[in-house]
Every structure is written in C-alpha cells, then in structure tokens.
Amino acid sequence: MGNKFENFWDKGSDFHTDNPKVALTHYLKALDGIEHPLLFADIADCYFRVGDIESCEKYYTLAEESGFLDEREKDTESKYNDYAWFLYSHKKNYEKAFKVIQVAIKLNPNEDYIIDTYIHIFLNLNKDETIKELAQIYKKNRNFQFSTKLFEIYQNEINSILKK
C-alpha cells in the first residue's frame, strides 16, 4: 500500500481525462510529499486541458528539469504523447515535439493515438516521408481511427504511392 501522497497521485489519475480540475486538486496534494517528473507531467497536462497554458508550461519545465525526458517507466507513453502534442499544437516546436513523441513510440509502437501524434508532428518536418508512412498505415488499415482527416487531405498523394 502506498503512502498518502501516492494515493493522492493515484486518485488524480482516476480523474485525469474526464475531470482534469478534480485531478489537479489531488495531484497538487501529492506534491506535498512527492516530487517526480511524471507527476509534474500529469499536472502540466491537466493544466493544458483546462486551458491554463502558463501553469502547463511551468509544470512541463519542472518535469524536464527533474528528468522527465530520461524516464522510461512502463505505461507512461501517454505522458510523452501529451507533452509532444502540447509542443506541437501550442508551442509549434516541431523538432522538440518529434524527439518527445519518439520516446512514446519506443514505449508503445502500436498505439494508434501515438502514431497519429507522430504523423501530425512528422508532417511539419518531412512531408514527403510522412505521406509515405501515411500510405503504409492506410494500406494496413483504411479505417485507422485517428488519422482519417489526414487520409482525406493527402488522398491523391497516398493513392499515387500505393499504385507504385
């Protein structure tokens, strides 16, 4: 059984996606006894979800300063995906976002939402290579849930690659 601070962190995780405001109350209580890069990343993502970008950046900075990008704990790929998405969508820092999403891909290379984030980021770095990867994804699974819009946007390019 964990200590009370770990329990607060666990309770925050229960609300993370569906109610980030409630998750934050638990995560912030956990900070009274735990300073961990993955906890900082959880807090940052919740702040991003509620639209407090300044606090989001503060906690992602704390996460990085405490070794977040060196973490490789099992089942943490979503934390890296969330950070990559923040870097991509808000900061427009595609190079750094790409480095972060590669951590998530290494932890779970078959997770569709991570592949989708990877594709979105990679498009900004190397469009031609990304479209080739999109074509391969499309070839394997035309109903790939996450990149449907990208399949539509690049349909002509994908079709010409697949005809080769």
Local confidence pLDDT in tens for the 164 residues of the chain: 468 999 999 999 999 999 999 999 999 999 999 999 999 999 999 999 999 999 999 999 999 999 999 877 888 999 999 999 999 999 999 999 999 999 999 999 988 899 999 999 999 999 999 999 989 988 888 777 777 788 888 899 998 998 87
Cα–Cα distance between 85 and 98 in angstroms, integer?
Answer: 9
**What burial letters (b/e) apply to 103-120, b meaning 16+ CB within 10 Å?**
bbbebbeebeebbbbbbb
CB neighbours (10 Å) of residue 32?
10
User: SS3 sequence, 79-117?
Assistant: HHHHHHHHHHHHHCCHHHHHHHHHHHHHHCCCCHHHHHH
**CB distance 45 to 79 below 8 Å:** yes
Read off the tokens for 97. Answer: 């976002």
Instruction: Give me the domains of the chain, ranges plus CATH numbers.
Output: 1-71 (1.25.40.10), 98-164 (no CATH)
pTM of the model: 0.90
pLDDT score recorded for residue 140: 86
Read off the tokens for 109. Answer: 């290379």
